[in-house]
Amino acid sequence: MCGIFFYMGNKYNLENLLLDYNKILCRGPDKSKIIDLDNKIFVFHRLSINDLSDNGMQPFIIDNIYLICNGEIYNHKILKKEYDIETTSDSDCEVIIHLYKLCGIEKTCQLLDGVFAFVLYDKNTDKLFAARDPYGVRPLFMGNNEEKELFISSELKSISDKCKVVDQFNHGSYLEYKKNDIFMIKKYYNNNYKIDPLRSEEFILNCIKNKLTKAVKKRLLSDRPIGALLSGGLDSSLISGIICKIYKELNMKNQLKTFSIGMKGATDLDYAKSVSDYIGSEHHTIECTEQEFLDAIPEVIYNIESYDITTVRASVGNYLVAKYIKENTDIVVLFNGDGSDEQSGYYYLRNAPHKDEFHNECLKLLDEIKYYDVLRSDRSVSSKWSLEARTPFLDKEFVEFYMSIDPKLKMYNATKIEKYLLRKAFEKENIIPEKVLWRPKEAFSDGCSSETRSWHKIIQEYVDLIITDNEFNENKYKFKKNPPLNKESYWYRKIFESHYPGKGDIIPHYWLPNWSDVKDPSARELS
C-alpha cells in the first residue's frame, strides 16, 4: 500500500500542489519522492513492504519510461523467469515496466496477478498510461479541472479541491493518453465467467479449498510483520486459519497476531476468541464504548471518502482496530475476509427468484465493490493508519473459479445455509472450530454490537439527538444525486460535503439489498 499522485498540465507547480499530494502521505509514510518532468509531476509516497532498500523506491525510471504503482504483483518472479527479465530491484512492481517494453500495455495488465493502480509514462513515444486491477482492490481516482488538465491519485482527497470533475478509475481498465489530449479508456479484463454445470461437487470443493489456500499463500509475500482481522465470522476465520496452517506446514515459528473489535456484549468477540484459541494465534480483543464508535464516524467518512450508509457503518470498526494496531504493534500488512459476500454470501441473496438472477446480482456486487466494501477494506486502515490490507477472496483465480460454479449450487434458502460450498470445502480440514464454520452470517457492522442493542440503532438514536426533523426536511432535497434516505444518511452526507463539496457523484447509489422492501441495509433488519 502506497500513495501515488500524478498531474499533467501547466497551471500548477510543485509548490501549488504540496498541500494536495501530502493529503495522502499516510498511505506511504516511509519515504517520498517527486519527479517534475516538463509538464508532468509524479509523486510517490512509499510504505515499504517488499525490498526495503532504496532500490525499491519509486518512481522507477528505465529507458525513459516512468512508473509509479501502488500494488503487489504476486506473480512477479514467475513473470521475470518466463520473460527472461532482469530487474534492478527486488520490488514486485518493477516488472511492470519490463513487461510493457516487451508486450505493450494491454497484455501487461492481463499478465499481472495482483492488486494494483499505476501510472506509466513512456517518454520515447510521449504516451501516458494508467491502469487498475480487475476488481478495484487498490484505489485510483482521475479528475480534470476547468482547463481540462489531468489529475490521477490514490484518493479523492488529494485532487478534490483542484478538480471540477472526479471519477473513480474503472476496475479492470487502462487509460491511454496520447498527444493533443486524445485519450481512451479500454477494458483489459472482462468478467464473462463461463459457467460449467457438469463439474462434480467433489471437484468443486477441492478447487475452492486449494484456490483459496493458494490465494492466501501468495499474499504472505512481505518483508514486514503480518496480522489478520478476525471478526469470528466464517470468512475472516477461514483466512486466519489458513495462514496458521501454512505457517505450521512450512515449520515457520511465526505466530499470527489476530485482532477483533466490538462493544461490550458484542457477539463477534466471543467467536473470535474461540477461533484464536483453536488456531493458536496471538489474539488482541479491543473493546470500545458506544461513544468511541460514534465519535469516529466523522473521521471515517473523511478517510473512506463515502457517505454510503452500509459502508460507513461497517468501516468504523475497521478504522478503530487499525488505530489500535498502529499504536500498539509493529504490524504493517493486515489480512481480512472481505470480498466473499459479493460472490454469494449476502443474506438477502436467499430471496433471489432464479439462479440466473442470483448470478447476475453477484456479478453486479463484484462490479460495484470498488464503491463499497473495498473502501472499508483499504481506506479505513490505510488513509490514516498506514496499514496495507490484503484480501484473498478477491484473488483473480479464486473469483474466476467461484463465479464459474453453477449458481444453482450456490443458492440458499431457509433450509440451506449461505456459502454452503465454501463451508463444505473446509469441513474436513479442521482449521477453525465447527461452530464457526457453520455459523450463520452476521454482518460485521452488526456483530460488533450486542444482540439487544444493534450498532445501527445506536447511530440512529444518536442522530435523532443532533439532527432535528426541521433540518432534515428542509435540506434533504438539496442533494440532487443520492438524496438522503433518513436522518442518518443526511448526517453522513453533511459531513462528506464539508470535506468534498459537490463530489456526491463519487458513488453511484446507496448500497441496498435487492428483492426486499427493507429500507435499512442491516442484516439484522433483513432477518
| Active site amino acids | 2
Report H helices in 329-447: 355-368, 373-377, 379-382, 396-402, 407-410, 420-425, 434-437, 444-447
Among 333, 334, 330, 336, residue whose Cα is nearest residue 314? 336
Angular region, 84: left φ>0, alpha ψ -120 to 50, beta rest:
left
At residue 286, the 3 state secondary structure works out as strand
Calculate the alpha carbon distances from 209 to 65, 393, 402, 436, 507 in Å.
41, 12, 11, 17, 34
- In the Cβ-directed half-sphere of 197, how many Cα atoms lie within 13 Å? 4
The CA–CA distances, whole Å, from 205 to 32, 85, 420, 439 equal: 45, 37, 10, 19
- Between CA 471 and CA 268 the distance in angstroms is 36
Report the interhelical angle of 290-304 vs 309-328 (nearest 10°). Answer: 100
Contact between 419 and 343 under an 8 Å Cβ cutoff? The reply is no
What is the number of residues in the chain? 527
Closest CA to 173 of 209, 129, 214: 129
**What letter would DSSP give residue 515?**
S
Instruction: Return the DSSP state at 371.
Output: G
State the cell numbers at 144.
480534470
